[in-house]
Structure 1
Amino acid sequence: MNTKTLFPLVCLVMLVSAAWGHADDQYAPVQPFLNRYCVNCHGATKQKGEVRLDDMAEIDGALWSDIYDQIHDANMPPEDARQPSANERADIAGLVLQISRDEAFSISTGYRRLNRREFRNTVRDLLGLKPGIYDPASRVFKDDVDGGFDTNADELVISNELLLEYLESAEHSLRMALFLEDLTPPVTRVVDFKPGRLQGGDRRFTTNKKKSTVLRGSGQYYASEGARRVTIAGNYRITVNAAGVDRNNYGRMKFPPASGPIRMGIGTRLDSEGQQSTSNLAESFDLQDGEFKDYSVVVWLENGAYPWVGFLNGAGKPASSIRQAIRQRKVDPKEVSPKNYLGPGVEVTGFRVEGPLDPDWPPKTYRTVFQTDEMPDFGNAEVRASLIERFLTRAFRRPATEQDVKDYLEYLNRQYQQTSDWHEAFIKTFAAVMASHDFLYIKEEIGPLPPFELASRLSYFLWSTMPDTELFQLASSGRILNAEVYAAQVDRMLHDRRTDEFVRGFATQWLSLDLLGTMPPDIKDRRYAAYHKSKYEAAFRSETLHFFRHVLFENQPVGDFLDSDYVIINNTLADVYKLPFEGGSEFQRVSLPKGSVRGGLLGHGSILALTSNGVETLPVTRGHWILDELLGTPPPAPPEEVPALVPDLNGVDTPRDQLVRHRKAPACFECHKQMDPLGLALESFDVIGRHRTKYETGPKIDPSGEMFGTRFEDVTELREILRSQEDQFAKSLIVKLAEYAKGRRLNRRDLDLVDQVAAKSKADEYRFESMLRHLLMSNLMSER
């Protein structure tokens, strides 16, 4: 058996180094030039901006492109350093431009590890596991990505420990899919659990009766019997007989819900060995007080999962409320005790589980894993070889070779010799397949992508998972290389629900929404009590993702990200933004009045909160965010010798005063003169995105400033200036989309293609879906 095929220690060899050994002498003058003018600040002992230029073999295509810009535009060397002559600068700039466009020197071999999101989705699709409470990636460490997207190949390193985690996760996922203890068809069963013996939640807020249980706390309750876990994955009907009770046990003292219906939830839960239990709410129901009736929901239960019932809108800390009422002498401690809470609750008198409903045979996961509608005859050698070949082809996302099949058949036979169980041997073998580099890595060679690689590029970009059956078939026939066929696939995939993986994956990282909530305001600070109580954070994140979807799928101009006359909000955000709104919790498009401070991303609570630290706003961070995320022109990192800006906690100085002093330092002036006016314009919003006109300490906020030589008085005028930069924004967005798709920074040749996509998009008024189509149809997508 070829062990390196199954348990690789993957070593990704860069073609750059080898290429320089055969480089033409035309590039020879470049290194002496770098040594003379650049290496003093970017060499072995010192790397300003974390850039090192003393070894040309270690410079990638994106950095060559940056070097060209610096030399060609005479930005480097700095003014106080030794300068090349005009002819010398022009000659070297020309050579560097050639290098930045030369595939042999600027593009590494296309080996990229699946990130955690892609691994999760690929395992589910490969094994036929439904998206539910089981997470195939729960046993795998989170990706450690310092910058850029989680598709960046340079950031997706691997280790022996990570490989072992992949192996463990693969085997556990296979056992979730191939769950049968014996290969006999399942039958539908009905199990009535004893409603008086429900457990879970907080026992202080639970009343167990002989034939019922009253749930008064907010926890999840489930059957106490050991048989509550299902052994056959499938759809199950969960029926609970319940009513709302004890609303008025405390007379004038009311506990939640003081008004409106008592709400009951039914959900599913899965306990995993060594892992935290996971659960999902399947459906909620409004109960009638004192009127018992059946409430049912059909849910998917995985092997080992079980149902729960809960009281969704009950009191969070009833005992504390009772103690406070006693201290305030609102109730008699002889009549009311925090140790025996009898407030409103859900009384459950019946708890039934029926299933699996209409059981498939073989189960769907078996049909998906083995690609057959009949339970395979594992004892047949030809069948075993066929099963191995089919699984390898899907797992590797390319046709399995004869050597692939031979290697894994040998491994399968060895596993059978140890277990005498073909079912178990297949689980072990397929787990090894899913821990191999052929499964864990997306592999692309330099130049135009062949059919299977193109199918994977498209699928992982839009769906963050492996190609589906239709894409596989088109890749197998080679028809996916036909422009019309490919265009039809782009259209099909863009309108598939799985494209939401692109929305969440790209938008969350592009806009740094993954940082939202890392520095929330203090829960004890009354000024921001609504942030926690009304769950602003979740509403902020949803708003931005809904806005992204709207601009994309309604094919709006991408300039709407910079400035728009509408928002996508619900009642929670309408309250935060002080906007008229007649809807409820569902997000809706709402037109803005003229001159509104909202509109575009700069009015989103998510952006304003994540560019604050929960205590104070951060004008420099906000200004940097605009330059980086919106315009693609991030200023360089501050020099190490410059001290950090210390906030004035006494409120004597405004942030504008502090930044004026900070800019007096010569090393700070150039960058801060760009960032500060933008961030100070957003001082009109506090740390959780609420609009304000003055600071709490008294001074009036001055949001005026200048950008691109144009004065603005407030954030509304700033947004208008930004909207005038739609060309630059669109190009920056295309670059980010391409880097997300390709898993690497772009080189100069790529940027030439970006210009072509931008030109076509401008003719379509930069409408987002049209722009995305132009990108998908360009060589940026079809080439490494």
Structure 2
Amino acid sequence: MKFPPLSLSLLLASLATSPALAAVPQPVAAFLDQHCTECHDSDVKKAGLDLTDLKFDLADADAALKWQRIFERVHTGEMPPAKNTQPTKTEAELFLASLGKPLIQADEQDIASNGRVRSRRLTRTEYEHTLHDLLGIDLPLKDLLPAERGAHGFETVAEAQQLSQHQLARYLDVADLALTEAFKRALDGDTVFKKFCPPEELPINDRGNFRGPELRKGESVSWPMTLQFVGRMPVTAAPADGWYRITLKDVRALNAGPVGSVWGTLRSGRCISSIPMLYMIGLVEATKQPRDLVFEAWMYEGNMLELKPNDATLRRVAPGGKGGNVSYKGRDLVKDGFSGIAHRGIHMERIYPTADRATVRRHLLGQGDFKKLEADKTASLDRLVAQFARRAFRRPLKASQLAAYSNIGHQMLAEGASLTEGLRASYRAILCSPRFLTLIEAPGALDDYAIASRLSYALWVSMPDSQLMKLAAAGEMKKPEVIAQQVDRLLNDPKSGRFIRSFTDQWLKLKEIDFTSPDTRQFSTFDPVVQESMVQETRAYFREVVSNDLSITHLVDSDFAMLNGRLARHYGSKEPLPPGQGLQKVMLSQSDLKGRGGLVTQGSILKVTADGTHTSPVVRGVFINERILGTHIPPPPPGIPAIEPDIRGATSIRDQLEKHRSNSSCASCHMTIDPPGFALENYDPVGIWRKGYGKSGKGAPVNPSGVTPDGDAFADLQAWKQIYTRRSDELAAGFARQFITYSTGASVRFSEKDTVDEIVTQAGKSGHGLRSIISAVVTSPVFLHK
């Protein structure tokens, strides 16, 4: 209800008598009374907010967050609603200044006392990479640990992390597994395995129905069939868990047609119906010219290779046999015009991609003759435990701190254990210590070792290397010029591929690419090759932008794309790309895919923001706002139903949203959410351009027009892109917030807006390049303080 004329004085009087609310600044109370309490009092409580009962106790985290949200909604113009009487510019500025100052002061006091980020442990991905670098092993470990919950879009955020007894037990199990592998390699050496499987052996069947390749004129040939596990080759079964280098010899395409290639997948698995899981190894692009194709992949013991053409646009071959069997007898599939992938055998070799045996041995046992180490076990154990702990804890330790770990080994030695058994016991304790599992940071400015660790985990998803540790020991890591140099070094190193994968998996939700399966009746040409190509496209594109410090506007639009021939065809290109080049940089001005520039139109983004059957401007709009534009979208008010699209496509989603937006509780947010979602509606759930809804686009026409929250109208996606490519400051601030959250373990705090502005200004000196933004973030106070 609206307060009567004397209500302000009564409100202020009530505030003065309430200890919890006495601090409300008078201009804030006046503004709320005039513009807010009519909808947010004890009677109405729109969006569940009762301003008359909201404490102004900014030491209370929940109350402070609510007041910050009130500030933000008035600051962005979302509140009061457009249909209500609007405050004058002077009124709004006075309100924001009066509320903003105490909010900033309270937030700064909390950061000074507790740090901006609470204690953060390593994520399971960081834990895996750290064990790999620390020990030199290459076992896949993260799937053995509990899944991460995540917050603000990232698994690295401390507020969502837990460390229960169950989790500690799992970390202990994984540490045992890792140490067993490391000591086995150090003491016994690496397993050597090399095998060549000629075409004659590949069709040999050792179980169930025959679904192998065809032996044809000295070549092994795989054909496109709908039967499960067609193309499986039992002779390629891995003899043990491990990494293998797999070389397909003289791969060539049969009946490649005008596109010049045949696309397929190489996967591993048991290839039986009781264990149907298949693991992608890589895409196979067979061309008319024979060539060797090399892949490196982890294979589980007993898993075999499955190679087959997996392009859904290819004409399918009938199995030719009965009862689920494949038969090639009496058929000439080449003459019949079917496309296939032929090769002249498979070479398999066991490899160790992280480190060789000598490196593993050095990590565990140091340099020198092992017999000399055993001659003085006590001194050797102390020295090796100190060396290992310094690397594991990412900083030097005092003798008193080391004693707890070395004493465990000494006790083992006293009981008659060998040096390696004593070392293993000490190392196990180190790997389960909070000093290893968590990032040690004290409130205030980070020390040199903490900066080295934060930088390394940000850009390598792992522990700092020897160079970073030397810089930390020399007290150099606080110097901005040194940090900037290390950013370039780390991003130029192959290990930065971990950052590309980890960051895009979380920021752009690429890890959710498998969460939905497109309806094959509607999207019959979508296939595993297309899906894998989509993910590769986005990662390669992001790497290109980072590597070359290209403008942040490339998130929205660009003059190039990273495509392969199959993906280009999926997107609707009629111009075949040069075959055999895989993923390649394509200048869009020279192709018929001119609208495909930027991240927002890439298939991976369009797929993870759809449900496999329909699209929603709301889902896509929230994604683009939060992940690309940097605009936080609050959750919907309680009791508001979701928008369900018309499954016939007869009614446009826009029409349904118009009814939804008639609710004033929804309208203000949808003014922000819907515009980018509308702009992308010409793309279906698998990223193909459409003009209408429903099957084959014969339903209601798509209307991609809209108006941005600040009043810029656009007719279509290209017009929307033009609006936002002129807003590099806004895009840079949005990305900076995302990277700050990912790299520090906490979202940007209320009092840190000025720091974000400074980052944007600094990066703007080089045209808001993406690498420049990253460098500006890691040299800013928000990164260099807990």
Whether these two folds match at TM > 0.5 is: yes
Letter in 1 for 2:705: S
Could you say which residue in structure 2 is the equivalent of 1:625? 623
Letter in 2 for 1:450: D
1:243–1:287 Cα contact (<8 Å) kept: no
- Aligned residue-pair number: 711
How far, CA to CA, are the matches of 2:724 and 2:311 in structure 1?
47
The one-character-per-residue Cα deviations of 1:430-465 (angstroms, maximum 9, x if unpaired) are 122111111000121122211110100110111110
1:750 Cα shift? 2.6
Task: Identify which range, 64-73 or 403-412, moves more after superposition.
Answer: 64-73
Could you say which residue in structure 1 is the equivalent of 2:442? 445
How far, CA to CA, are the matches of 1:196 and 1:595 in structure 2?
44
Could you say which residue in structure 2 is the equivalent of 1:570? 564
Consecutive unaligned residues of structure 2, counting only runs of 5 or more, are 1-18, 223-229, 334-339
Change (3 A) 1:122 1:214: same
The one-character-per-residue Cα deviations of 1:32-73 (angstroms, maximum 9, x if unpaired) are 53999899989xx99948999686444189938825834984
Tell me whether 1:385 sits opposite 2:378 in the alignment.
no
Change (3 A) 1:681 1:281: closer
How far, CA to CA, are the matches of 1:201 and 1:255 in structure 2?
31
Could you say which residue in structure 2 is the equivalent of 1:143? 148
1:362–1:375 Cα contact (<8 Å) kept: no
1:743 Cα shift? 0.6
Could you say which residue in structure 1 is the equivalent of 2:231? 218
Matched residue SS, 1:701: coil
Letter in 1 for 2:577: E
Task: Identify which range, 576-585 or 767-776, moves more after superposition.
Answer: 576-585
2:308–2:341 Cα contact (<8 Å) kept: no
Change (3 A) 1:767 1:202: farther
Letter in 2 for 1:101: E
Change (3 A) 1:717 1:705: same
Letter in 1 for 2:550: Q
The one-character-per-residue Cα deviations of 1:391-431 (angstroms, maximum 9, x if unpaired) are 11111111122123211122123345667343233323312
How far, CA to CA, are the matches of 2:758 and 2:568 in structure 1?
41
Which of 166, 177, 182 is the equivalent residue of 1:177? 182
1:760 Cα shift? 1.7
How far, CA to CA, are the matches of 1:58 and 1:200 in structure 2?
68
Which of 111, 120, 124 is the equivalent residue of 2:128? 120
- Pairs within 5 Å for 1:188-337: 204-205=210-211, 217-222=230-235, 228-229=239-240, 281=281, 311-313=307-309
RMSD: 5.2
Could you say which residue in structure 1 is the equivalent of 2:599? 601
Which of 468, 487, 492 is the equivalent residue of 1:490? 487
Task: Identify which range, 764-773 or 691-700, moves more after superposition.
Answer: 691-700
- Pairs within 5 Å for 1:562-711: 562-579=556-573, 580-584=575-579, 585-592=582-589, 596-695=594-693, 696-707=697-708, 708-711=710-713
Task: Identify which range, 115-124 or 678-687, moves more after superposition.
Answer: 678-687
Letter in 2 for 1:368: H
Which of 456, 471, 478 is the equivalent residue of 1:481? 478
Matched residue SS, 1:479: coil
Could you say which residue in structure 1 is the equivalent of 2:772? 770
Change (3 A) 1:105 1:85: farther
How far, CA to CA, are the matches of 1:553 and 1:352 in structure 2?
34
Matched residue SS, 2:411: helix
Could you say which residue in structure 1 is the equivalent of 2:24? 33
Could you say which residue in structure 2 is the equivalent of 1:97? 104
Tell me whether 1:160 sits opposite 2:162 in the alignment.
no
How far, CA to CA, are the matches of 1:86 and 1:694 in structure 2?
45
What's the TM-score, normalizing by structure 1?
0.76
Percent of residue pairs bearing the same amino acid type = 24
Change (3 A) 1:219 1:546: same
1:31–1:56 Cα contact (<8 Å) kept: no
Consecutive unaligned residues of structure 1, counting only runs of 5 or more, are 1-27, 248-253, 327-335
Change (3 A) 1:355 1:596: closer
The one-character-per-residue Cα deviations of 1:144-176 (angstroms, maximum 9, x if unpaired) are 225321110111111000000000001101111
Which of 513, 532, 539 is the equivalent residue of 1:538? 532
Could you say which residue in structure 2 is the equivalent of 1:552? 546
1:108 Cα shift? 5.0
How far, CA to CA, are the matches of 2:675 and 2:285 in structure 1?
51
2:264–2:310 Cα contact (<8 Å) kept: no
Could you say which residue in structure 1 is the equivalent of 2:370? 375
1:716 Cα shift? 1.0
Tell me whether 1:413 sits opposite 2:410 in the alignment.
yes
1:123–1:136 Cα contact (<8 Å) kept: no
Letter in 2 for 1:156: Q
How far, CA to CA, are the matches of 2:47 and 2:423 in structure 1?
52
2:265–2:280 Cα contact (<8 Å) kept: no
Matched residue SS, 1:684: coil
Matched residue SS, 2:562: strand
1:381 Cα shift? 0.8
How far, CA to CA, are the matches of 2:621 and 2:295 in structure 1?
50
1:378–1:384 Cα contact (<8 Å) kept: no
What's the TM-score, normalizing by structure 2?
0.76
1:269 Cα shift? 9.1
Letter in 1 for 2:609: T
1:482 Cα shift? 3.8
Letter in 2 for 1:341: S
1:60–1:106 Cα contact (<8 Å) kept: no
Letter in 1 for 2:362: R
Task: Identify which range, 574-583 or 716-725, moves more after superposition.
Answer: 574-583
Matched residue SS, 1:481: coil
Matched residue SS, 1:588: strand
Letter in 1 for 2:408: Y
Change (3 A) 1:213 1:222: farther
1:265–1:312 Cα contact (<8 Å) kept: yes
Change (3 A) 1:531 1:769: same
How far, CA to CA, are the matches of 1:438 and 1:383 in structure 2?
23
Matched residue SS, 1:431: helix
1:466 Cα shift? 0.1
Matched residue SS, 2:160: coil
1:620–1:675 Cα contact (<8 Å) kept: yes
1:758 Cα shift? 0.9
How far, CA to CA, are the matches of 2:347 and 2:677 in structure 1?
58
Change (3 A) 1:414 1:208: farther
1:122–1:466 Cα contact (<8 Å) kept: yes
Which of 294, 316, 327 is the equivalent residue of 1:341? 327
How far, CA to CA, are the matches of 1:514 and 1:255 in structure 2?
35
Change (3 A) 1:265 1:177: farther
Could you say which residue in structure 1 is the equivalent of 2:337? none
